[in-house]
Homo-oligomer: A and B are copies of this chain.
Amino acid sequence: MRFFSDNAAAACPEVMAALAAANSLDTAYDGDRLSARLNGAFSDLFETEVSALWVASGTAANALALAELCPPYGSIVCHRDAHIQNDECGAPEFYTNGAKLLLAEGEGAKLTPQSVADLLDSVRNDVHQTQPAALSITNATEYGRVYTPGETAALGALAKARGLAFHVDGARFANAVARSGCAPADLTWRAGVDALSFGFVKNGGLSAEALIFFSGRDIGPTLFRRKRAGHLLSKGRYLAAQLLAMLEDDLWLRNARAANDGAARLARAAAGRLVLAVEANELFLNVSAAEAQALRDRGFDFYDWGPGEVRLVTSWDSDPQAIDALAAAIASL
């Protein structure tokens, strides 16, 4: 019973069926009938005209977005614990051709207007320092916290006031929407977001993520950058098929709810041990080494997350019985 990461889960049946259905000759790259439907499908979801591109990884989505939003001689404000800073091996630096990440603080990997403003105020406005050009947040965050529409909009307003573009790393965007109960628009363009890395792989996809640009931004440069990065797959229809399958009947939202619900059940069982409030599908618990071993002895797998702390992640297909068993095991520690 593994609670390591939603990254490792299976793809959901509808995605597998969509791959099979797409398995016939069609035009290569993104010239196929499925890829042609993406802009429309995502525009419907977001209740505004958007441009939607498939890519094969969240790292690529983030890096392409940031390359569009920040010049090589600019900088990107993000949280000290952001995935783009700590888990992408310098992909933003590679794709932007050497922009800098500026690291702000905040509880649970969440930025606040104040923490961002403090950081921005520390930058001298001269050519000796890269000037901030973009703000990037992760929603849900790397610590399972969720920005509300209001919190997002406050950051969006600050970004606009300071002349920054606004990017959301939405590797777990579905979980954030599921938690908020709001419209996807409320966590994106209505809150001033310019680009979203919309994750599907952690949420039941196989190999497709979506990169969404709002506000009529010209995606021409990104199309060239995607090709140049080797991310314009020759049989792109299999990626488009996954995304369309996930959008159908809000499968993406149902999957995310299932993952969030599993985490909520565990959170209730571990109420006294929570390091952070559980708002999406990740839990960080105070668990001693001996207790962690006891859980592992019962067949549960998960990551240690610093001394006396463990991380548990649920996913769209977490077995309810396994969750109940883990909940019981935690409660009995």
* Measured CA separation A86–B60 after assembly (Å): 23
Q: Which of A7, A29, A233 lies at the interface centre, i.e. has the most chain B CB atoms within 10 A of its CB? A: A233
Closest residue to A97 on the B side, CB-wise? B97
Decide if A93 is an interface residue (CB 8 Å cutoff): yes
Copies in the complex: 4
* Measured CA separation A73–B61 after assembly (Å): 17
Chain B residues closer than 8 Å to A101, beta-carbon distance: 100
Chain B residues closer than 8 Å to A130, beta-carbon distance: 89-90, 224, 228
CB–CB B202/A234 < 8 A: yes
Chain A residues with a Cβ under 8 A of chain B: 2, 4-5, 7-11, 16, 19-20, 23-29, 55-64, 71-73, 75, 86-91, 93-101, 127-131, 201-202, 206-207, 221, 223-235, 238-239, 317
Chain B residues closer than 8 Å to A8, beta-carbon distance: 25-28, 234-235
Chain B residues closer than 8 Å to A19, beta-carbon distance: 16, 19, 206
CB–CB A99/B93 < 8 A: yes
* Measured CA separation A202–B235 after assembly (Å): 9
Closest residue to A2 on the B side, CB-wise? B25
Q: How far is the CB of A152 from chain B (nearest CB, A)?
A: 25
Known pairs A127-B223, A224-B127, A235-B206; A72 contacts B56 (CB<8 A)? no
CB–CB B224/A89 < 8 A: yes
Closest residue to A234 on the B side, CB-wise? B7
21 CB-based A-B contacts, threshold 8 Å: A2-B25, A10-B25, A56-B56, A57-B230, A60-B229, A63-B230, A72-B94, A75-B90, A87-B129, A89-B129, A90-B100, A91-B227, A91-B230, A94-B97, A97-B97, A97-B98, A100-B101, A127-B223, A207-B239, A229-B229, A230-B231
* Measured CA separation A29–B5 after assembly (Å): 11
CB–CB A72/B97 < 8 A: yes
CB–CB A98/B87 < 8 A: no
Chain B residues closer than 8 Å to A60, beta-carbon distance: 229-231
Residue from B98, B221, B230, B238 within 8 A of A73 (CB atoms): B221
